[in-house]
Structures are given as structure tokens and as C-alpha cells.
Structure 1
């Protein structure tokens, strides 16, 4: 008699646990794609630092800070008075040698000059012309011209200054388009190809998305980092992008349709992943193989079928086979309906 009373008291002390209140969603089919994301540095389409070829005094500077120059325009002139005088003398000697050559040619035709004297005068005339051309080249070196159209940087020298050979005079940048260099892991190399469109983001313009095109993929993978260099080309007609800016590259590749579940529904244990199916009023634990995660969704490669109901909220309190009650179904899935379904919702 005492044993029976004790057993009844033990059962009364441990009432049956009510079903867990959960939310469910069907397994859907959504769009997924592989994402390549990298950062790179903007480079001008063409950029050059023009330097003084010789040590000389600056006579004039024909540009202002940030000004635009066209190809062939004179940017600076260095002193060339000495070279101009040397050129005049070299040209005079060249004319004299040419005139002497003409006289010897006439004498040779009349038989009064030898072939050796004619050859010597031809050599002398050619040497005089070469000397004049050399001086002319030295004068040309003292006129600094823009090699292509572009914008000039900040001026750091002034007229009248004597500058040494190699001293920078001006920087010319063609920013009509921008080259963007970045690297990607070799594991993503198959996702990239020439001509693909890229989305480019800049922290300087957070509300704008720039577009570029993959122009070149390096033919060599860096063995130290196992990455490959890529160059993209971005139109820059409004000149908003500047060389040296840090830009973020995003590329969507392998767009596809696949089964999808919310990230909150997936439970990870080591390298394995599970979800709970809502089936016959109980939670059934199912292993899945997942793909990419995108916008709060997980791509499901295997383990589920479209339309199956999975638990999306309340998974942390579930175990395989545990009774559940779906929120909003008035107690369905629990041992009783009606008022029995409202108490767990109040407790939550």
C-alpha cells in the first residue's frame, strides 16, 4: 500500500512536459549565386611624372594646378640660349659643308677632282648635318610636352628655379577611365572570365554603384599567396574616381535556382548541419548538405524537398522526436487543442 502511494506521488511531481511552441516555414526555391568580393586600388588609365632631362633653369611653366592639357602641349621650357647659339654655329657649318660638296661635285663632273676628295667632302657634310641635329635634339629636350591628354597634378616647382636632371616637373594623369587591380584566390578562378561585369563600391560615394569590366586575368598564380591578379576597366567620364582610391569589387557568378531555408533554421554541429522538420506533431531532425549563404538564406544541396515544413523559430529547445505545436494553428500538433494551445503562447 505504501509503495503504491509513493509511486503516485512521484508521477504527480513530474507532470508531462507541454509541446514546444515553434514557427515553421516551407522549404522554398530561391535564387543563389557565388559571390566574389575583393578590394583593389584605382590606377589611372595613363599616368606619367614628367622630369627634367638635364640640369637647367626653368624659364616658364605653362600650366596651373589641376589643369587639363592636350597631347603635345608645352608644359615647361628650360633655358636653351647656349644650345640655340650652338645650333646656329652647327647649321652654318652644315651649310658651308654642303656648298663645298656641291662645288666638288661640279669639279668631279669636269674631271678636276678625284673620287677620294668627293667622298671626304660627302662625309664632312653628313657630319656637319649630324652635329646640327644633335644640338636640335638638345633644345627639344628642354621643351617639356604632354605625352597624352590628361589632368595635371599640383605644381611643386616655380619659374627661375634651377633643377637637377630627374627632378619632377609635373604629373599628367589620364583618368577618362580607371584601371582597378585586385586579387582573388585561385579557388575562385573558374568563376571569373574576361568581359564579365563587376559592381564597384567606394566609401567616398556610399550611395553609388560603379560598373566595370574584367579586362585582364594574370596568366600566373602567385605561389606564395595562391592568388591571381585581375585588372578591371571602369568608365570615369565624370571623373569621380581618382587614382589611388580603395575600391571594393563584387561579382555575382553561377546564378542558379536552389532549395532555400532561413539561416535561423540551420543547426551546426562540427562540420555537420541539421534542420528540424515539423511532421505529425513532432520535430524530426534531418541532416542536410548546404551551399552558399546569401541574404539570410542557406542553399540546400541535399536532405530536403521543396514544400516540406521546417522549424524556423524555437529550434534551440527541440530534440529529435519532441512534441511541438505550431504557432497560429490553435494547438495543432499538441496533445490537445482549444485552450490547451493558448497556454504555451502566453508562457513564451
Structure 2
């Protein structure tokens, strides 16, 4: 019975000690009386120090660095301008004036259609117009004393206007037989051959301007207020290994997709070497914010307790346990939003043997992240 009671007392004292070390040290509460006698007993010598002496620790300074918040997404490359070149009228293909994959300029003729009949009609219309115009000129140049009925002059002028209209109509039809590039770009595969009969809407080829491309992607609506036009976008594709492409946000959609709760974003990239092709799958990172004066500590310095985080800061050769607010997590480092100052030295090795305000001896100072 006595043994059981003694064990219960020891367990109670042990529980009080653990609770005080977790919370009492942090808030400056006095030690429970039950611990005073126990802590007065000699403790084993700490590694690196004599019995009851300072504890040897490795420290690292709080440094100032750059922290970039990013949102990741997947996107698809689109040409800045893209069009399917089609025939406007019915006709026979008489010449193909481009090579597949060739770069063309705005206005370059791509395909010729048989225009013999239209040219004949145009020549006839021009002849009639020239004749009608000559009659009007002669009528207006009659010598004094010679007269012509006003009605006759009006008729000649009406005929001239009519024949002029026929000329313009034939010229328009002739222009429709000319299949030309509406803007500068690179043509795709040829879809017609010489001698083929094409109808209005028949696909001839495609034309894409990819000297500058768009990458379209969507991000969750929680980033709506943080994605701004002009923000930096970094894109990569497995097709190009480690190569990174840098662009900017051009447009953020005005509507949120109610099915996916995402918002569409369009970014633009210079593509002078035309490496990016329309339809290419890309992984993108859009920069939400950048902080060049962020405070960073080594990840090993954290001493978490539930959802709170602490570090041991060296002050006057003692380890002060300080609560911090954590921001972005980087590789081997953690951003600290509050609780420490640049230049403070925090313990990164030996934390397990520390308690608040324990005397310490710095055995090593690490200037780089330890992981």
C-alpha cells in the first residue's frame, strides 16, 4: 500500500513539473513547491558544460531575405492572333503561294483562284464606263449656241454612274478571289491543292502570330484580390526541361466560374524564338506578392507547441523562449512575421535540453540554412 502511495505522489509531482515547464516558464509563473526540493538535487552534467554549467548550443542569426508568395496552376498556350484561312467565293485553285510553316507578312497572297471570267467582266465594265464618261464630258463641253436637253444630260450621267458601279462590283469580286494573310504570322499545313474546287468556307490553311503568345490558366477564387494585371508569371513545360519562361498577367476575368470556384487569368509571354506552340500544356506560377525585407530563421529553430511556434533567442548568454508568428515556409527556412528582430541569434541545435532563461554557451554559429 505504501509503495502504491509513493508512486502516486511521484507521478503527481512529475505531472506538475511537465505542466510548469510547458506553460509556467512561458508566463513567468513560480515553480510549484513540490519541485523546489527535487530541482535542488544535483543534475547530471550537460554535454559541453560542467555540472550545472551553461548548455552548449549551435545558433543561427535571423537574416533578412526575399520571400515571394506564389499560386500554382496549369495552363495552355494560345497564339496572340489565330485564324483559319478560308475561301470567300467558289473558284478553282490555280496557284499555292506559300510553304507550310512559312512566316508571311500581312497582305501576302497565299492562294490564287481562277479569275478569268471576273477579269473579263471587269474589262467590259471598264469599257462601258469609259464610253459613258466620255459622252458626259462631250455633252458638258458643247459650244455656246449648241444645246442639249437637260434630261438627256441627266440620262448620260446616270449611265456613267451605273457603269462605274459595275466596275467596282467586278473589282470587289476579283478581290474576293485573292486569298491573302490578314496579319503577319506563320502559316500551318496546306489543306487544298492546285486544281481543287473550293466553296465559300473551305479551309485553306491556318495562320498564327506566335511572336508573342498567351498562356491561359485558372486560380482559386481565394486569390482574386491578390492576382493583379502586370504580376509576374513563370511557366515551364516538360518539353523544355529546366527552361523557364517569364511573362506577365494581362487580363483577369470579371467573372468567377461558379462550378469550379476559379477565376480565369490570361498572361502574355514574349516568344521571339517561337518555342511555345499553341496548345502546349504549361505549369505556371503567378507571383502574388514579394517581400524583400522578410525575416528568416532556420527551420530547425522552431519549437512548436500545438498550433503555436516558439524559438530560443540568445540574450545575455541565456536562451529566452519567444513565441513567433510564422509566415511563408521556404526550403530549410521559415519566414517570421513577429517575435524576433534581424540579427537575433536563435538556437538551432540543442533545443531539446533547453528551458526558458537557461544559461547557454554558443559552440557554433551557422550562417546558412541547416537543411
Q: So what's the TM-score if we normalise by structure 1? A: 0.73
Using the TM superposition, give the Cα deviation of residue 53 of structure 1 relative to its aligned residue in structure 2, in angstroms.
0.5
1:1-348 correspondence to structure 2 within 5 Å: 24-26=58-60, 28-37=62-71, 38-107=73-142, 110-184=145-219, 188=223, 194-195=229-230, 197-214=232-249, 216-218=250-252, 220-222=254-256, 224=258, 225=261, 227=263, 229-232=265-268, 234-247=269-282, 248-251=284-287, 253-266=289-302, 272-275=307-310, 277=312, 287-305=323-341, 307-311=344-348
User: What does the per-residue CA deviation read over 1:74-112, in whole Å, with 9 as the maximum and x for residues that have no partner?
Assistant: 110112222222222222222232233234334596553
Paired with 1:217 and 1:18, the residues of 2 have a C-alpha distance of: 66
Decide whether aligned partners of structure 1 residues 129 and 7 sit closer, same or farther in structure 2, where only a CA change above 3 A counts.
closer
Deviation at 1:190, TM superposition (A): 5.7
Structure 1 segments unaligned to the other structure (5+ residues): 330-348
2:329 and 2:148 map into 1 onto residues whose CA distance is 95
Give the distance between the partners of 1:130 and 1:136, measured in 2 at CA. 10
Cα offset for 1:115?
A: 1.9
- Assess, with a 3 A threshold, how the Cα gap between structure 1 residues 108 and 299 changes in structure 2: closer, same or farther: farther
Q: Given that residues 275 and 311 in structure 1 are in contact (C-alpha distance below 8 angstroms), is that contact kept between their aligned partners in structure 2?
A: no
Partner of 2:37: none
Structure 2 residue runs without a partner (length 5+) = 15-40, 48-55, 365-371
SS in 2 for 1:207: coil
Distance 1:162 1:309, change over 3 A: same
2:242 partner SS? strand
TM-score (norm 2): 0.69
On the 8 A contact 1:94/1:128 being kept in 2, the answer is: yes
**How many residue pairs are counted as aligned between the two chains?**
318
Q: Residue in 2 aligned with 1:338?
A: none
